[in-house]
Amino acid sequence: MPSQQPKTEAGFIHGETGTQSLVGYVVDVRDPAHGRCYLNVGEQHLNRHGALHGGIAVTLLDNASGTTGSLTVDASGKAPFLTVSMNTQFVGSGRTGRMTATGTVMGGGRSLLFISAELRHEDGTLVATSTGVFKRVPPEKLT
Phi, psi of 48 (to 5 degrees): -65, -10
Residues 64-100 have pLDDT tens digits of: 999 999 999 999 999 999 999 999 999 999 999 999 9
CB neighbour list of residue 137: distance below 8 Å, 6 or more residues apart: 79, 80, 81, 82
Q: What is the pLDDT of residue 143?
A: 65
Global confidence as pTM: 0.91
DSSP per residue over 21-55, as a string? HHHT-EEE--STT--EEEEEE-GGGB-TTSSB-HH
Closest by CA position to 8, among listed 67, 60, 16, 31: 16
